[in-house]
Amino acid sequence: MDQKPKLKRSAALGFIFITIFIDVLGLGIIIPVLPKLLQTIGHIDLSTASKYSGWLTFVYATMQLVFASILGNLSDRYGRRPVLLLSLFGFSIDYLVMAFAPTIAWLFVGRFISGITGASNATATAYIADVSTGDKRAANFGLVGAASGFGFIIGIGMGAYLGALNIKFPFIAAAAFAFFNGLYGVFVLPESLSRRHRRKFEWKRANPIGALVRMGTKHKDLATLMWAITLVYIGQKAVEYLLSFFLFEKFHWTLSSVGTLGIFIGVVLVGIQGGLIRYTIPKFGQRKNIVAGLLLYALGLTLIAFASQGWMMYLFIIPYCLGGISGPALQALTTSKVAQNEQGELQGAITIINSMSVIIGPLIFSYIFYHFTNKNTFLYFPGAPYILAAILMLISAGLAIRSFKGNKLRDASELKQVG
């Protein structure tokens, strides 16, 4: 048997792993640095800075919302490779803008650019769907989670420790990562979508809201499940975009302390997404992984909300991270329901959902945080956003169970027979 196709596929998956890693790296870098950066540049207090943070993510998510479906459809027409490479070089420009931003307004420019380039995540996941079949599809989506976890580790570490030296350093390093990975991809990344599977680009299908409605209308058995995904994405934003504000406010942690917790979270996520899921999905099936993961999310968020000592964060973050076992199973179920030449459009629709959740989630959670932490608050409770997030996870679990009963979606054992 010729080993070259296997080697090329392995190299391609490695490139996608790095690309998703760099995407999450950018988030990880910003998490510990942004509160202090906003306070320094804008001369504002931490509660007010949280509101600016919400609006920065609003701009980022709006650009993702506009461009995710466009890039997903372009990848269905011209292939995944050119879209991925152009986006990586765009990332490098974004990080440089963020590095040298003299005012808060320039931070908004950086988030504008990153929203466009970050929309390529739909193409990256479509690439994985192209080269994966059967039960390997869920396992490969588990690698996406591992890439996210690893990116989170490095990003938090870079943001915290390099940021302690100079706030510009972590962004410059991220720009270099994105640029050189793009160069690497020019030489090693093969195209995953054959010409016979490509389709004509249509603006009506590239309309972000139209694409989402179309996927829900054409594949009605996905509608309830995608609502569940929406609530999960919104709930996750309480941790992804607000945790550093929470830690600075409630426990008065230093930048390096936040970075150390972030590295711990990343290590746990890598273990779960890269190892545990490869056992739990074949053993228990996708449905049980989804429900158990969502309940663990809710438990972890509730514990975080009521943490009274800083050391408790290391303990309470573990059930939240374990909730990540639901992610790859949700991804695998959705991708198994559409044709190969619709994978880019589907992943574009899912990225649209994520972008909408970033528009909604951080704004809601940042204003709740501000309301319960500002000087005039009637009740001081920094953990309030995490209670709301936990409720959303419980509702999502209920929707997921309803979708299983109503539509009889296939679990991992059935997918294995297909593969």
Tell me: the pLDDT tens digits for 58-71?
888 788 777 766 76
In a domain, 198, yes or no: no
| Contact of 32 with 163, CB cutoff 8 Å | yes
Distance CA 387, CA 401 (A): 22
In a domain, 126, yes or no: yes
Distance CA 419, CA 43 (A): 57
The pLDDT assigned to 363 comes to 92
In a domain, 205, yes or no: no
Distance CA 289, CA 139 (A): 13
Q: Return the ∠ at Cα 343 (arms to 339 and 345), rounded to 5°.
A: 115
**Residues with Cβ within 8 Å of residue 67, at least 6 apart in sequence:** 115, 116, 119
Give the other-Cβ count within 10 Å of 276's Cβ. Answer: 17
Distance CA 353, CA 234 (A): 9
Q: pLDDT 10s per residue in the chain (419 long)?
A: 444 455 455 666 777 777 778 777 777 787 788 888 888 888 898 999 999 998 988 888 788 777 766 766 666 666 667 777 777 788 788 888 888 888 889 889 888 887 777 655 666 666 777 666 655 666 666 666 667 767 777 888 888 888 888 888 888 888 888 788 778 777 776 565 555 555 565 555 555 566 566 666 666 667 777 888 889 999 999 898 899 899 999 999 988 888 889 888 878 887 887 678 777 777 777 788 888 999 999 999 999 999 999 999 999 999 999 998 887 777 777 776 666 666 666 766 776 787 788 889 999 999 999 999 998 888 999 999 999 999 999 999 998 888 776 555 444 444 443 33
CA dihedral 73, 77, 78, 80 (to 10 degrees): 50
In a domain, 371, yes or no: yes
3-state secondary structure of 379: coil
In a domain, 266, yes or no: yes
The pLDDT assigned to 97 comes to 85
In a domain, 196, yes or no: no
Q: Which residue has the tokens 């953990």?
A: 383
Integer angstrom CA distances of residue 6 from 13, 19, 257, 370: 10, 20, 43, 52
Q: Which residues of 80-94 are buried (b: 16+ CB within 10 A; e: fewer)?
A: bbebbbebbbbbbbb
Domain hosting residue 242, numbered range: 8-187+211-412
The pLDDT assigned to 337 comes to 65
In a domain, 418, yes or no: no
The pLDDT assigned to 90 comes to 80
Give the other-Cβ count within 10 Å of 29's Cβ. Answer: 27
Sign of CA dihedral 178, 183, 184, 189: positive
| Contact of 58 with 363, CB cutoff 8 Å | yes
Distance CA 310, CA 264 (A): 14
| Number of domain units in the chain | 1
Measure CA 55 to chain center.
18
**Residues with Cβ within 8 Å of residue 146, at least 6 apart in sequence:** 17, 269, 270, 273, 274
Distance CA 212, CA 92 (A): 29
The pLDDT assigned to 248 comes to 92
The pLDDT assigned to 415 comes to 42
In a domain, 417, yes or no: no
| CATH (domain of 394) | 1.20.1250.20
Helices then strands, counting H and E runs in the chain, come out as: 20, 0
- For the entire predicted model, the pTM comes to 0.74
